[in-house]
Amino acid sequence: MPATPPNRTVQRALAAAAVLLLSSCNGSDSTAVEAEPIASITTTPTSLALTVGDTASVSVTTTPALASNRTVKWTVTPATLASITNVAPMGARVSVKALAPGTGSLDLTFTTPQQQVSATVFVIVKSAAP
């Protein structure tokens, strides 16, 4: 039995319905999932007591854990007190070397699309024994 030729009227009606259906989708029907805001930030340790020439590491933990869309900035104040010698990927750990006697801070700032949070580690550097 030979194939029945398609009904042109039905084809045109289906094509028109498809156009109407597709034109009603404007892309706003998708739901974006945003990361949960940071509830707490903790440094370990919370303070450092070093001698000139010593090195130490500080780690940071956030609750909830942060996604990869973050920036982490570590700074030492004053800059003459210590230097940042190494920062782990994603800024979760930093190593510092004591340069000169004095007091100051090791500060970190986490920035995500939703917020910015910071924490401070207090630093005391003593002179090396003669």
Edge-first strand listing for the sheet containing 102-111 = 47-51, 116-126, 102-111, 71-77
Give the CA count within 13 Å in the CB-facing half-sphere of 107.
10
How far apart CA 42 and CA 59 sit, in angstroms, is 8
Q: pLDDT (tens digit, 9 = 90+) per residue, 17-71?
A: 444 444 444 444 444 555 567 767 889 999 999 999 999 999 988 777 755 677 8
The three-state secondary structure class of 36 is: coil
Pick the CATH number of 40-126 from 3.30.590.10, 3.90.79.10, 2.60.40.10, 2.60.40.1530: 2.60.40.10
Which comes out higher in pLDDT, residue 111 or 14?
Answer: 111
121 token code pair: 């580690």
Residue whose tokens read 């942060």? 66
The pLDDT value recorded for residue 19 is 45
Query: Whole-structure pTM over 0.85, yes or no?
Result: no
Q: pLDDT (tens digit, 9 = 90+) per residue, 84-113?
A: 999 987 778 999 999 999 999 999 988 878
